[in-house]
Structure 1
Amino acid sequence: MKNKYTSTAIAMYINYFVHGMGAIILAQNMTYLTEQLHTDKAGVSYIISALGIGRLIVLYISGVLSDKFGRKPFIYLGMITYIIFFAGILLSPNVTVAFIFALLAGVANSFLDAGTYPALMECYPKATGTASVMIKAFISAGQFTLPIVIGFLVSNGLYFGYSFIFCIIIFVLNGIFLIKRVFPVANEVKATESVEEIKSEDEMKHKPNFWIEGISLIIIGFTATATFLVVQVWLPQYGKEVAGMIDTASLKLISYYSLGSISAVVVTSVLVKNLIKPVRFVVIYPLISLVTLMVLWMFPTPTTCMIGAFSIGFSAAGGVLQLALAAMSDLFPTSKGKITGMVYTASSIASFAVPAITGIISKTSMSNIILFDAGVTALGIVLGIIVNIRYNIMMKSN
């Protein structure tokens, strides 16, 4: 039987297609923004850091309020706030004003997360991993599409701001479409429902312990984000300076990265549906990322950079964060908005702390940035192992 929330889910996924563009739109338009804002690339980078700060400010509380007031209001808040960001950047006369609007983009992201992730889990209670990781597919699709849009504008000598207006138009149309869409009742899962939302309480040896697997999954929210963020920001520069790639070739590494991410979503969505539990991927994928990072560090060639970009896109950016959240919701099913806020707060901390840390490291060596990323990823693997051990203890053997 067809799921009555399918059209609702489609509308939510479209929002993340636009979010994928919004996440990179400042960096993609850096040249034009330096002119408009009378600043340099460092100034635009400073503005970009505001996205992580804005996201952190309201994410936890918005998750808690989402549990109380429902998902739809927060999705609309996210869409409206994002529209203000896109329009505000185009009207900003200087770095200070643009920074404020960039903060709003982070706030908008938090609102969308707090409403969308719990809503999707409630729309598809028996496929929370697949529903969550599909968000990453739409984010990646947006990040793949925006450079094409900007390339079209540049090649035709058109106003760079049309890329921002393009995002606004999609949000407006999707907002109209969303008006009559129905949502499931928030937190319909009862406290007696357990891991994977299909096991009964008497099938569990022990109840989940928030201070062990809960905290571990929250920290994985940080390590998973850090792993792909370092590559997203620094791999083109690493390819150019360390691997000896030319400018155009090094910039294309992000295209390989996006393709890897999209591929992972397709593969993972199939695997988590019937074959492998989401919790297993919080070890498997970071392990692939760690091996890839070490190969990149030891053998910095154009070929390894291209393969590495795809591999990191697949294993780190392809949904580890979403799968960690799905595992968290399986273990603690009664407060999905709250746990979304917790996991994504850790992710937000990574989104502004990691660029600052790696910026300092870059003054020593680009290779040291890759080593730093490997260290963070290794921490994520250890935490993932802890979570899986606890998961196995909680569930009886077949």
Structure 2
Amino acid sequence: MKNKYMPTAISLYLNYFVHGMGVIILAQNMVALSKQWNTNTGGVAIVISSLGIGRLIPLLISGILSDKFGRKPFVILGASTYLLFFAGVLLSPSITIAYIFGILAGMANSFLDSGTYPALMEMFPDSKGTANVIIKAFVSGGQFILPLLISMIVSLNLWYGWSFILCIAILILNLLFMVTVGKFPKIVNEQNESSDKQDSLVQKNKNLGSLWIDGTLFILYGYVSQATFYLVSQWLSQFGSEVAQMGNTSSHALISYYSIGSIVCVFVTAALAKKAVKEIQFLITYTLISFIALLTMYLFPTALICSIMSFVVGFSAAGGVMQLGLTVMSSFFPKAKGTITGAFYTAGSIASFTIPLFTGMMSSNLANIWLFDVIIALLGFVLAVLITLRYRKIFGKI
């Protein structure tokens, strides 16, 4: 708490609390929005898909520009763009206009990522992994709170837009703080140090990894780690219902176990990080656990096994392993934190587009979809092993 950047860090986390709400707010208000836009729930689903497109458009270039111009402008730009999304959806008379604002929401997410992840790593250089993983807790918190809020709004017969207004209010207050008070560390090449000290800093922060070897490994890991938990989040309930022969309520409860696991992982990771457990150790351990858990569900699809392993998969695959992967990547490329953030999450965004295409072709056999995820998780573990070997070669002991 003595860190002078702590107030700014809390503000950064609050942006992701709102982002957590923003990711699901259209789906949670699907009936009301379909009436407003004179369409059906399928039309609203089309608008929801625009968030993924918007996220992919600026991600890589915004990361590069974040390294050049600093983190704060992109955090402010992300929060401002999210404001346009929440206000625009409320005012949109059709799905065409709403689709445009949905694209803005995806772009806002990219802008926030490009500024926030590098900023947190620079604010907390001795606990970068923990700082980044906590983002996941705030996203999950927003996704947990919003359904409860909307249930209350519905039960009180209030206007659906109050959920959007809450997000707008938090963002406005957060923006005012960020613009007037928020403090960010200077990027190394912007520091006004003496020439000797500056040379030392540059040497200390030079890129140590190979762009082609390590860069390729991490880009592939970004794709695979996103694909692993994205596939689970989309098909877990159906797998429980059709393959494990669970009832409707029990199969939907699997998602709850999965979400609880992801939140628990954040706190476990933070606690272990204080005991000097390194990010690279988390990376290979969590990736192995997720592979074993998915394989166990595939081989023994019973109600009990699925319930337990849903928690385990949420813990190991959705509890911040992507953030840990990015943190490890930043140690290989410390002078390009914004650029690598953009590249890493671009790979994840591509996974979000392509995985539904692959699984859609296998939708007639859910067991095959799960086997596909097992293979992806195995590939993730192989990549984690290769990254660990490269880490040991460059940095020595793990």
Task: Provide the TM-score with structure 2 as the length reference.
Answer: 0.91
Q: For residues 182-208 of structure 1, give each alpha carbon's deviation from its aligned partner in whole angstroms, at most 9, with x where no partner exists.
A: 11102469442269xxxxx9xxxxx42
Which residue of structure 2 lines up, in the alignment, with residue 106 of structure 1? 106
The whole-number CA distance in structure 1 between the counterparts of 2:49 and 2:358 is 12
Q: For residues 147-178 of structure 1, give each alpha carbon's deviation from its aligned partner in whole angstroms, at most 9, with x where no partner exists.
A: 21122122222222222222111111111222
The whole-number CA distance in structure 2 between the counterparts of 1:44 and 1:357 is 23
SS of 2:286's partner is: helix
Do 1:208 and 1:331's aligned partners in 2 also have CA atoms closer than 8 Å? yes
Task: Provide the TM-score with structure 1 as the length reference.
Answer: 0.91
Give aligned pairs, total: 387
Q: For residues 59-111 of structure 1, give each alpha carbon's deviation from its aligned partner in whole angstroms, at most 9, with x where no partner exists.
A: 11111111111111111111111111112222333332222211111100000
Q: Residue 292 of structure 1: CA displacement?
A: 1.4
Which residue of structure 2 lines up, in the alignment, with residue 49 of structure 1? 49
1:394 maps to 2:398: no
| Greater than 6 Å deviation, 4+ residue runs | none
Q: Residue 367 of structure 1: CA displacement?
A: 2.1
Which residue of structure 1 lines up, in the alignment, with residue 283 of structure 2? 282
Q: Structure 1's 127 and 28: CA in aligned 2 closer, same or farther, altered over 3 A?
A: same
Q: Structure 1's 371 and 139: CA in aligned 2 closer, same or farther, altered over 3 A?
A: same
Per mean C-alpha deviation after superposition, the further-off stretch among 304-313 and 227-236 is: 304-313
Q: Residue 366 of structure 1: CA displacement?
A: 2.0
Task: Tell me which amino acid in the other structure corresponds to 2:276.
Answer: L
Q: Structure 1's 134 and 378: CA in aligned 2 closer, same or farther, altered over 3 A?
A: same
Task: Tell me which amino acid in the other structure corresponds to 1:377.
Answer: A
1:162 maps to 2:162: yes
* Residue identity (%): 53
Which residue of structure 2 lines up, in the alignment, with residue 198 of structure 1? none
Which residue of structure 1 lines up, in the alignment, with residue 239 of structure 2? 238
The whole-number CA distance in structure 1 between the counterparts of 2:104 and 2:161 is 18
Q: For residues 29-55 of structure 1, give each alpha carbon's deviation from its aligned partner in whole angstroms, at most 9, with x where no partner exists.
A: 333333333444443333222212111
Do 1:67 and 1:187's aligned partners in 2 also have CA atoms closer than 8 Å? no
Q: Residue 345 of structure 1: CA displacement?
A: 0.7
Do 2:260 and 2:311's aligned partners in 1 also have CA atoms closer than 8 Å? yes
Which residue of structure 2 lines up, in the alignment, with residue 186 of structure 1? 187
1:213 maps to 2:214: yes
In structure 2, runs of 5+ residues without a counterpart are 190-199
Q: Residue 313 of structure 1: CA displacement?
A: 1.4
SS of 1:45's partner is: helix
Within 5 Å, give how 1:303-318 maps onto structure 2.
Answer: 303-318=304-319
The whole-number CA distance in structure 2 between the counterparts of 1:233 and 1:21 is 18
Task: Tell me which amino acid in the other structure corresponds to 2:328.
Answer: A
Which residue of structure 1 lines up, in the alignment, with residue 136 of structure 2? 136
In structure 1, runs of 5+ residues without a counterpart are 196-200, 202-206
Which residue of structure 2 lines up, in the alignment, with residue 84 of structure 1? 84
Q: Residue 134 of structure 1: CA displacement?
A: 1.0
Q: Residue 391 of structure 1: CA displacement?
A: 0.9
SS of 1:210's partner is: coil
Which residue of structure 2 lines up, in the alignment, with residue 343 of structure 1? 344
The whole-number CA distance in structure 2 between the counterparts of 1:122 and 1:211 is 25
